[in-house]
Chain A
Amino acid sequence: MEKFEKVHGVAAPMPLINIDTDMIIPKVHLKTIKRSGLGVVLFDEMRYHDDGQENPEFVLNKPAYREADILVAGDNFGCGSSREHAPWAIKDFGIKVVISTSFADIFFNNCFKNGILPIVVNEEHHAILMDDAHKGENARMTVNLEDQQITTSDGHVIEFDIDPHRKHCLLNGLDDIGLTMEKDHHIDKFEEHASQARPWV
């Protein structure tokens, strides 16, 4: 996985709450056996009309936000289906950071596996960031994972929390499976113990 670098770019506002993974990527696009190329169908049903034409009202179709790097979204972002196609599509579109007041659990986990940084902020900070995102393409936000800081276009600094293990993995682009395999002997030992304690499993 690529290392997560400092992000300086446009943030797109999506204040709607409970944006579910069916909205992020509808099921018609889950029939792929690949991970790549899903950016074009990100938010498919909101982004395009029934005839396939772009909906100019949708935020990512507006000139200011077509190249957005950051998404500032409403509460409970990513609820619903476990489909990892949702973060794959977000990443493929070019968004590297999603900011909300809360995320659904599985989506939150899936982001880290794909080099996307989901940031949880409180309501007060969320309102500041949402306002900043509404300013458009000249208002660039900076997200610095190393220092755990978001800087708005007018220099307001907001600090955020992140699990230290996940931060380490993102910053160094570490592959979870490789890391876990280094602990193989612990898994062997567990299996040996479990096969005695619960032989029916």
Chain B
Amino acid sequence: MSPKTLYDKIWDAHVAHEADDGTCLLYIDRHLVHEVTSPQAFEGLRMAGRPVRAPEKTIAVPDHNVPTTPDRVNGIENPESRIQVEALDKNAKDFGIHYYPVNDVRQGIVHIVGPEQGWTLPGMTVVCGDSHTATHGAFGALAHGIGTSEVEHVLATQTLIQKKSKNMKVEITGKLQPGVTAKDITLAVIGETGTAGGTGYVIEYCGEAIRNLSMEGRMTVCNMAIEGGARAGLIAPDETTFEYVKGRPHAPKGAQWEAAMDWWKTLYTDEGAHFDKVVTIRGEDIAPVVTWGTSPEDVLPITATVPHPEDFEGGKVDAARRSIEYMGLQAGQKLSDVEIDTVFIGSCTNGRIEDLRAAAEILKGKKIKDGMRAMVVPGSGLVRMQAEEEGLADIFKEAGFEWRLAGCSMCLAMNPDQLQPGERCAATSNRNFEGRQGRGGRTHLLSPAMAAAAAITGRLTDVRELM
């Protein structure tokens, strides 16, 4: 048998039907659902009189537009958001799918809840009507975002019509320098490949620096595979993965655990398997990074300066000019001189316990700059609870951060957590697009530790200066 990549193996194990032209029906093991991209899909099912084919494999949680202030227990004020969340309440009940309602302690961002509850397991196919579904690839699961029509398709048939992507390998060799995190890795990769560099591919991340990451870090890396254009990101499961999964509420137990482990241990890329594209980055070469523009590929080390549009080629010259103007920056300006007024720590990229620990480590015993608006939005109710038990919440509150309830919050600003025009935010989220965090708002993407450093100094800051 010819050697296979990890992607090949998971793909082959899930093809329910292959047509002569290579179009496949790919079987879906887990379908995650949230309130924003699902109402039209459930409506479609109702109109056609179709049930959900596998409700036991379908898990729903409201996250995108739920408020994160404590008063949300009294209901959602915004009528449109409320209608969407109520629609999900009803759809979950009517169609008999697993559900974590707003006020359940297990509620949170769908991509944090799935792994936390043990729904996401190695070797699975996982989809969700959300592009950051790539997160689950950290477990060696083939996971990607889909549109609402495809949500309806999966609800009705538990399959997706797919053609296979190409294989891409991203290897991060060696060790990371102090102050450099999983977020810096994933941003550095996008800086290298561009936002379309992964288009048409599934990326497998490998190498010593990836192996040494915790599951939280691996999720951060895979989460942003989509920002590099890839359909999905994958990391082969290993002892770190198995240890994380074991004992979670929906993980297999007893004899089933043993059987699962037998298969999971075969989930790696065979020696000599073919990759259509290979990118290698030395872990030692990665610095703490920030974004300067309005595309996630606009990445530079914090020690760098804002580039000149003329430094680029082709369509990027105009795009860079537009970005610099939108961001209110000057070419040649030092990134570490850029003053910020808002800090957001959270999101499916960096809303897990390890992220909060990293930020708290920098903030311990310090205060945020006067006038700074800073908030921590834990990725789930359980992350929030754990952070309170570990004393992290107290560190954040004493430093001057708001301590919020779980949700997507200011990552996409569908709920009340938004930037005003011209406000500038250091954010641990995943997109710095124009208007992403609020119309006219300006976003610099960075790691949780870097966000904490920026909150203290009031400007983009090299976290290594505070370590």
Contact = CB atoms under 8 A, between A and B. Distances in A.
B336 to A, nearest CB: 26
B229 interface: yes
Nearest to A166: B23
Contacts of B231: 105
Given A18-B195, A186-B17, A187-B25, A176 B153 contact: yes
A177 B153 contact: yes
Contacts of A190: 16-17, 27
Interface stretch (B33-41, B276-284, B448-456): B33-41
B165 to A, nearest CB: 8
Contact of A79 (B37, B229, B257): B229
A27 interface: yes
Interface stretch (A5-13, A107-115, A138-146, A147-155): A107-115
Given A20-B433, A200-B121, A106 B147 contact: yes
Interface string B116-136: 000001011000011100000
Contacts of B200: 105
Most buried by A among B148, B149, B421: B149
A186 B26 CA distance: 11
B229 A104 contact: yes
Interface of B: 13, 16-17, 19, 21, 23, 25, 27, 29, 36-37, 39-40, 43-44, 48, 50, 53, 57, 64-65, 78, 80-81, 83-84, 87, 121, 123-124, 129-131, 144-150, 152-153, 156-159, 161, 163, 195-196, 199-200, 226, 229-231, 252, 256-257, 259-260, 263, 295, 297, 314-316, 318-319, 322, 412-414, 421, 431, 433-436, 439-440
A180 B29 CA distance: 17
Contacts of A201: 29, 57, 121, 124
A191 B439 CA distance: 46
A105 B131 CA distance: 10
B314 to A, nearest CB: 8
Contact of B199 (A26, A81, A82, A105): A105
Nearest to B78: A31
A27 to B, nearest CB: 5
A181 B315 contact: no
A75 B196 CA distance: 9
A163 B87 CA distance: 36
Given A104-B199, A197-B13, 14 more contacts: A35-B148, A50-B439, A76-B196, A110-B150, A163-B23, A176-B153, A180-B25, A180-B159, A180-B161, A183-B16, A187-B25, A198-B260, A198-B263, A201-B57
Nearest to A181: B157
A137 interface: no
A54 B252 CA distance: 57
Given A22-B434, A22-B436, A105-B231, A84 B39 contact: no
Contacts of B87: 33
A182 to B, nearest CB: 10
B322 to A, nearest CB: 7
Contacts of A197: 13
A17 B319 contact: yes
A194 interface: yes
A148 to B, nearest CB: 16
A130 to B, nearest CB: 11
B54 to A, nearest CB: 8
A83 interface: yes
Nearest to B161: A176
B19 A165 contact: yes
A92 interface: no
Interface string A12-26: 000111101011001
Contacts of B25: 180, 183, 186-187
A45 interface: yes
A82 B21 contact: no
Interface string A75-96: 1100111111001000000000
A199 B27 contact: no
A39 interface: no
B43 A33 contact: yes
- Give the most central of B43, B195, B200: most A CB within 10 Å: B195
A118 interface: no
**Residue among B16, B146, B412, B431 with most chain A CB within 10 A:** B16
A32 interface: yes
A177 B156 contact: yes
Given A20-B433, A27-B414, A177-B157, A114 B229 contact: no
Contacts of A181: 156-157
B131 A81 contact: yes
The 9 closest A-B pairs by CB, nearest first: A200-B252, A113-B149, A31-B80, A190-B16, A84-B147, A110-B147, A33-B39, A17-B315, A82-B145
Nearest to A76: B196
A55 to B, nearest CB: 13
Contacts of B84: 31, 33
Contact of B435 (A15, A22, A164): A22
Contacts of B129: 82, 84
B195 A34 contact: no
Contacts of A128: none
A157 interface: no
A40 interface: no
A104 B228 CA distance: 10
A149 B78 CA distance: 48
Contact of A16 (B16, B80, B149, B322): B322
A22 to B, nearest CB: 4
Contacts of B83: 31, 33
A67 B318 CA distance: 26
B411 to A, nearest CB: 10
Nearest to B323: A18
A181 B84 CA distance: 29
Contacts of A18: 195-196, 295, 297, 319
Nearest to B81: A31
Contacts of A15: 315, 318
